[in-house]
């Protein structure tokens, strides 16, 4: 399989998963080409490393690749994919390419409906702090390195494992972490039962003698752990309830938190530099996985304390006019609620949320749940749906969510015009407020725009 990747062409090379594969291939001395619909920071970085990248998709972009790598988002009608099929060039799914890169390593895969990017990142930084230099592939850029992937000199490979399209079934980890299992991606899986079942199949992929790390507090992950244990898989649990590592207490400190945990009969202090009890739980998952990989406890604790976060996970965007602006990737009702609860203690004034729904199917299925979560804020602005891979659905818009938010009407705003949002929010906020842009789409662009608008008014 490794020879097949000697001259790889990646369609959609600027995406989070694809750019990570390209980085590792380049670091291993492979020839990399690719294409994407638009220019991006990731593409600039890959070009500096030596990748040949075209903006726009065309059959002529294919030179003489040994393989073409695609994600589920790439349709068969893509001219480059169609040309690869016509010429008989091997076509690999992104997950198969990543699995090939894992060969020869002891692999840790982090999965779950929520929290997998942060947990993968924490584990990676903790192992780096132990001077183990793991290879890694993550769905977000580490704040420490600014990168989402790395070819390390160590024997370990840490990867975020994506359940959205079942692609994590390509991996065979030594350590599998499942942070939670809650209905999502039903546009692909169809039913909740099918979504749950794919996690059971993922656990079956654990190497003989390997370990499942699961959250005991989450009903879906806890049930998965019980089924795995009954089938003979080694399991270690973490959570607030008595587990292999237990969160005894969590106190917000500055922009992070201080946790008191119990591990192997000892009480230990654990510092987490990012806010929220849910981040402390992610840290426990990373801790158990790191211990299983052979890393020293003290080094892991120091590494977790040094973890500075991931791009788009409560990422600070700026301060202007007495207002702090942050950005977050939360795009599922549980993620939105969890993040708002975590942010509340660090908000000096009101908590103002700009939320962009992601996918028409998710908006239709979870509109009321999103509204319930957003009701935890003081002021809510809902944008229109970021459709991503989906076509619009009649009657499905951000208004479905805005209309159901349980706040006084004057504190809920549906604004379908992206261009008007920064001015609208600048009119709403006051000194001491905290603004949080949320969603998996281009809402991330609004943070800098809002800071600039507030700066303009102050100036």
The dihedral sign for the CA sequence 383, 385, 389, 391: negative
Same domain, 276 and 410: no
CATH code for the domain of 185: 3.40.1190.10
Record the tokens describing residue 239, joined without a space.
Answer: 């959570």
Q: Say if strands 7-11 and 31-36 run parallel, antiparallel, or are unpaired.
A: parallel
Scanning 377-420, the segments in alpha helix (DSSP H) are: 399-402
Same domain, 246 and 346: no
- 31, 80, 113, 117: the catalytic one is 117
pLDDT (tens digit, 0 to 9) for every residue of the chain, 459 residues total? 567 899 999 999 998 789 999 999 999 999 999 999 888 888 998 998 999 999 999 999 999 999 999 988 899 999 999 999 999 999 999 999 999 999 999 999 999 988 888 899 899 999 998 999 999 998 755 544 456 888 999 999 999 998 887 888 999 999 999 999 987 777 777 898 888 999 999 999 999 999 999 999 999 999 999 999 999 999 999 999 888 999 999 988 877 789 999 999 899 999 998 888 888 999 999 999 999 999 999 999 999 988 866 666 678 889 998 999 999 888 889 889 988 988 888 888 999 999 999 999 999 999 999 999 999 999 999 999 988 878 899 999 999 999 999 999 999 999 999 999 999 999 999 999 999 999 988 898 898 899 999 988 876
User: Residue 32 belongs to what H/E stretch?
Assistant: strand 31-36
Number of H helices, E strands in the chain: 15, 21
Q: Report yes or no on 411 lying in a domain.
A: yes
User: What is d(CA 197, CA 151) in angstroms, rounded to the nearest whole number?
Assistant: 32
The dihedral sign for the CA sequence 72, 73, 75, 80: negative
User: Is 338 among the catalytic positions?
Assistant: no
User: Is 420 among the catalytic positions?
Assistant: no
The DSSP string of 297-320 is HHHHHHHHHH---BTTSSEEEEEE
User: What is d(CA 78, CA 57) in angstroms, rounded to the nearest whole number?
Assistant: 7
Same domain, 395 and 425: yes
User: Is 116 among the catalytic positions?
Assistant: yes
Q: Report yes or no on 337 lying in a domain.
A: yes
The per-residue pLDDT for 144 is 45
Record the tokens describing residue 404, joined without a space.
Answer: 């159901």
Q: How many domains does the chain have?
A: 3
CATH code for the domain of 334: 3.90.190.20
- 80, 160, 163, 369: the catalytic one is 160
Scanning 210-296, the segments in alpha helix (DSSP H) are: 219-230, 277-292
Same domain, 375 and 298: no
Q: Report yes or no on 97 lying in a domain.
A: no
Host domain of residue 370: 315-458
Q: Report yes or no on 70 lying in a domain.
A: yes
Same domain, 278 and 166: yes
Dihedrals phi, psi of 16, to nearest 5 degrees = -55, -50
**CB-CB contact of 438 with 339 (8 Å):** yes
The per-residue pLDDT for 275 is 80
Same domain, 338 and 443: yes
Query: Pick from 71, 92, 113: which residue ends a domain?
Result: 92
Q: How far is CA 16 from the centre of its chain?
A: 9
Query: Pick from 35, 67, 92: which residue ends a domain?
Result: 92
The per-residue pLDDT for 206 is 97
Q: Report yes or no on 178 lying in a domain.
A: yes
The residue whose two tokens read 């509204």 is 371
Same domain, 233 and 348: no
The per-residue pLDDT for 390 is 83
Q: Report yes or no on 205 lying in a domain.
A: yes
- 31, 116, 163, 315: the catalytic one is 116
């Amino acid at each position: 399989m490794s020879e097949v990747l000697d001259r790889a062409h990646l369609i959609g090379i600027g995406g989070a998963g694809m750019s990570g594969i390209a980085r590792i291939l380049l670091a291993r001395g492979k020839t990399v080409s690719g294409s994407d619909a638009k220019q991006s920071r990731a593409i600039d970085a890959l070009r500096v490393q030596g990748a040949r990248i075209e903006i726009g998709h065309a059959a002529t972009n294919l030179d003489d690749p040994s393989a073409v790598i695609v994600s589920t988002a790439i349709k068969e009608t893509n001219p480059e994919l169609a040309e690869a099929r016509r010429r008989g060039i091997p076509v690999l799914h992104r997950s198969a390419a990543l699995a090939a890169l894992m060969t020869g390593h002891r692999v840790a895969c982090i999965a779950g409906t929520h929290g997998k990017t942060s947990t993968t990142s924490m584990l990676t930084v903790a192992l780096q702090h132990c001077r183990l230099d793991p290879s890694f592939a993550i769905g977000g850029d580490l704040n420490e390195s600014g990168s989402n992937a790395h070819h390390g000199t160590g024997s370990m490979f840490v990867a975020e494992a994506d359940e959205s399209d079942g692609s994590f079934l390509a991996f065979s980890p030594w350590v599998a972490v499942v942070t939670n299992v809650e209905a999502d991606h039903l546009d692909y899986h169809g039913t909740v039962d099918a979504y749950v079942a794919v996690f059971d199949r993922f656990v079956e992929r654990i190497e003989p003698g390997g370990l499942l790390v699961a959250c005991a507090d989450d009903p879906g992950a806890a049930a998965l752990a019980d089924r795995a244990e009954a089938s003979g898989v080694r399991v270690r649990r973490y959570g607030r309830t008595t587990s292999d590592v237990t969160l005894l207490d969590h106190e917000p400190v500055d922009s992070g938190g201080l946790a008191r945990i119990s591990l192997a009969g000892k009480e230990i202090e654990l510092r987490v530099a990012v806010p929220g009890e849910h981040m402390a739980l992610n840290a426990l998952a990373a801790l158990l996985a790191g211990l299983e990989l052979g890393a020293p406890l003290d080094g892991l604790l120091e590494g977790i304390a040094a973890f500075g976060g991931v791009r788009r996970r409560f990422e600070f965007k700026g301060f202007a006019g007495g207002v702090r602006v942050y950005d977050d990737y939360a795009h599922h009702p549980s993620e939105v609620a969890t993040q708002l609860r975590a942010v509340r203690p660090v908000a000096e004034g009101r908590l103002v949320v700009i939320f962009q729904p992601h996918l028409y199917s998710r908006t239709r299925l979870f509109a009321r749940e999103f509204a319930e979560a957003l009701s935890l804020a003081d002021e809510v602005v809902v944008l229109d749906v970021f459709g991503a891979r989906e076509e619009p659905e009649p009657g499905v818009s951000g208004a479905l969510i805005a209309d159901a938010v349980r706040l006084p009407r004057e504190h809920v705003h549906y604004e379908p015009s992206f261009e008007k949002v920064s001015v609208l929010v600048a009119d709403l906020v006051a000194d001491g407020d905290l603004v949080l842009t949320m969603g998996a789409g281009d809402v991330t662009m609004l943070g800098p725009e809002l800071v600039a608008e507030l700066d303009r008014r102050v100036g």
